[in-house]
């Protein structure tokens, strides 16, 4: 079956532009996570959805970052007024049950470069 | 603050030898720990999970140990092959009140297996 997909794979934005990153989780998966991965670092948690409910957004760096999952499947991470420090790979992961030790299945990521 | 340390330098070993990667953590009491593999340009792929009450877990050529007293996990790949070359990420999991797992990742260790 299909894994987690993300689009676009690469995005170049000028400073100040808004961007929207899309995540298509594995069909039927309850959990959805967004992570930010800087070069040479591990992924850092941004936000978590259980179905359509955003249960944790404690990792979002600023109010310029916004995520949604309105129908409990596809999710969008939006970054407004992008800054150079937003340049990173944004990873999406989904999990089947939403339970504590769910395996997280990661997408390939979107590499965002802000000029 | 919570901190996870993995060998920042690449680990170079000869094919057929056992690779041992280390994950140390401080100021944290994880309910479990996971190991992921990440190849360039791809998202992390789950390998193994070990819970706080387990000492050792095996899967094919992989072995993970978890010492909550030392606050350390060791990840072993026996009979290593060039195809095992990748970055290996350690991730600590916390079971939070919402019933989901929030992962905190280390920066990863790059393993290179030479023929």
Q: What is the pLDDT of residue B66?
A: 94
Cβ–Cβ < 8 Å for A23, A75:
yes
Domain range for A101? 5-114
Residue A14 Cα, gap to closest chain B Cα (Å): 23
Task: Give B3-114's CATH code, choosing from 3.90.79.10, 2.60.40.10, 3.40.50.261, 3.40.1790.10.
Answer: 2.60.40.10
Q: What is the pLDDT of residues A4-63, one digit of tens each?
A: 999 999 999 999 999 999 999 999 999 999 999 999 999 999 999 999 999 999 999 999
What is the tally of structural domains in chain A?
1
Q: What is the pLDDT of residue B8?
A: 76
Nearest to A108 among B42, B49, B99 (CB): B42
Share of chain B above pLDDT 90, in %: 77
> Given a cut of 70, is residue A1 above it in pLDDT?
no
pLDDT-based confidence at B96, cuts 50/70/90?
low
Q: What is the pLDDT of residues A55-113, one digit of tens each?
A: 999 999 999 999 999 999 999 999 999 999 999 999 999 999 877 678 899 999 999 99
Share of chain B above pLDDT 70, in %: 94
Alpha carbons A91 and A41: distance in angstroms, whole number: 13
pLDDT-based confidence at B7, cuts 50/70/90?
confident
Alpha carbons A9 and A32: distance in angstroms, whole number: 18
Cβ–Cβ < 8 Å for B98, A50:
yes
Q: Write the DSSP assignment of B51-64 as a string of letters.
A: ETT-SEEEETTEEE
Assess B98–A contact: CB distance below 8 Å, yes or no: yes
Which CATH number goes with the domain that contains A95?
2.60.40.10
Domain edges within chain B: 3-114
B-chain CB neighbours of A30 within 8 Å are: none
Residues forming a β-bridge with A68: A76
């Amino acid at each position: 079956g299909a894994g987690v997909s993300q689009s676009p794979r690469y995005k170049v934005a000028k400073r100040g532009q808004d961007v929207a990153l899309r995540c298509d989780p594995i069909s039927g998966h309850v959990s959805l996570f967004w992570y930010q991965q800087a070069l040479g670092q591990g992924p850092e948690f941004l936000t978590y959805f259980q179905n359509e409910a955003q249960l944790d957004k404690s990792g979002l760096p600023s109010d310029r970052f916004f995520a949604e999952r309105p129908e409990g499947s596809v999710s969008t991470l939006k970054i407004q007024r992008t800054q150079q420090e937003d340049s990173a790979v944004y990873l999406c992961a989904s999990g089947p049950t939403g339970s504590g030790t769910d395996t997280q299945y990661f997408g390939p990521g979107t590499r965002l470069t802000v000029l | 603050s919570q901190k996870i340390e993995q060998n920042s330098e690449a680990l170079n070993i000869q094919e057929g030898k056992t690779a041992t990667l280390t994950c140390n953590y401080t100021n944290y009491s994880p309910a479990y720990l996971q190991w992921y593999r990440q190849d360039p340009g791809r998202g992390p792929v789950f390998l193994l999970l070990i819970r706080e009450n387990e000492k050792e877990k095996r899967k094919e050529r992989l072995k993970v140990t978890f010492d909550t007293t030392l606050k350390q996990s060791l990840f072993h790949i026996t009979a290593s092959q060039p195809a095992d070359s990748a970055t290996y990420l350690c991730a600590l999991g916390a079971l939070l009140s919402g019933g989901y797992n929030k992962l905190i990742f280390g920066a990863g260790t790059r393993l290179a297996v030479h023929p």
